[in-house]
Amino acid sequence: MYKAWCLFFLVCCYHVTKGNPDSAVKISTDSRRLYHELNLKDVVGFPAFEEALKGFRLFEQERAILTLIDFTKPSTEQRLCVIDLQEQQTLFKSHVSHGRNSGGNYAVSFSNQPQSFKSSLGFFRTGDTYYGKNGYSLILEGLEKGKNDKAKERAIVMHGAKYADPAIIKKQGRLGRSLGCPALPPAVSREIINTIKDGALLYIHGNP
């Protein structure tokens, strides 16, 4: 009888919590706690992190690896991080370049159109790797129609590039820019690509 009463109590609590609008606040609080525990404040803003977590829940994921780029930050700062959500660890923090027509030090304009040479925002799924004109590269599949779904048509991939090396900042005051790809410093590009390839989620955040 006691066990039956306990089960009834738990079921009731579940339904109350499920229908309680305060549950969204709890999720937000947990997100903020995780944000601070992962020590991401110096790399990505909390709004970017929160949107990335929402997308991770929305898109069915086979892997617990989440990559986040925050283009509200300047290219002179680290603005890419790779997170293992299962282990709750930050695996990488890195600089990353944006498209040359998206802006100078800040990316302020974005596009899904071919030949725009701008970065695209939103959620992507990583695919296979290959060797191309930019060396070891990672195919990206845009998951949002009208926003980034022409990524493959535009040949938007992740790759290493000398112009994405932070050492160049001292010479020109910002990173170099790509034709729309998220380009990484050569010193870390292969390791990052190998960590996030084959079906992980990438979220690129910005002010459209």
Tens of pLDDT, residue by residue, the chain (208 residues) = 433 334 333 333 333 333 344 433 333 458 999 999 999 999 999 999 999 999 999 997 889 999 999 999 999 999 999 999 999 999 999 999 999 999 999 999 999 999 999 999 999 999 999 999 999 999 999 999 999 999 999 999 999 999 999 999 999 999 999 999 999 999 999 999 999 999 999 999 999 8
pLDDT score for 29 = 52
Helix (H/G/I), strand (E/B), else coil: 114: coil
Q: Which domain holds residue 68?
A: 42-205
Note whether 11 and 82 are same-domain residues.
Answer: no
CA atoms within 13 A of residue 97's CA, in its CB half-sphere? 31
CATH code, domain carrying 200:
2.40.440.10
Note whether 22 and 88 are same-domain residues.
Answer: no
Note whether 155 and 127 are same-domain residues.
Answer: yes
| Counted domains in the chain | 2
CA atoms of 150 and 158, how far apart (whole Å): 15
Note whether 52 and 28 are same-domain residues.
Answer: no
The enclosing H or E element of 186 equals helix 186-196
CA atoms of 65 and 112, how far apart (whole Å): 25
Note whether 8 and 61 are same-domain residues.
Answer: no
Check: CB of residue 176 under 8 Å from CB of residue 97: yes
CA atoms of 80 and 71, how far apart (whole Å): 9
Residues whose CB is less than 8 angstroms from the CB of residue 182 and which lie 6 or more positions away in sequence, other chains included: 69, 80, 96, 97, 98, 119, 158, 202, 204
Of 53, 96, 203, which Cα lies nearest the Cα of 143? Answer: 203
Note whether 29 and 78 are same-domain residues.
Answer: no
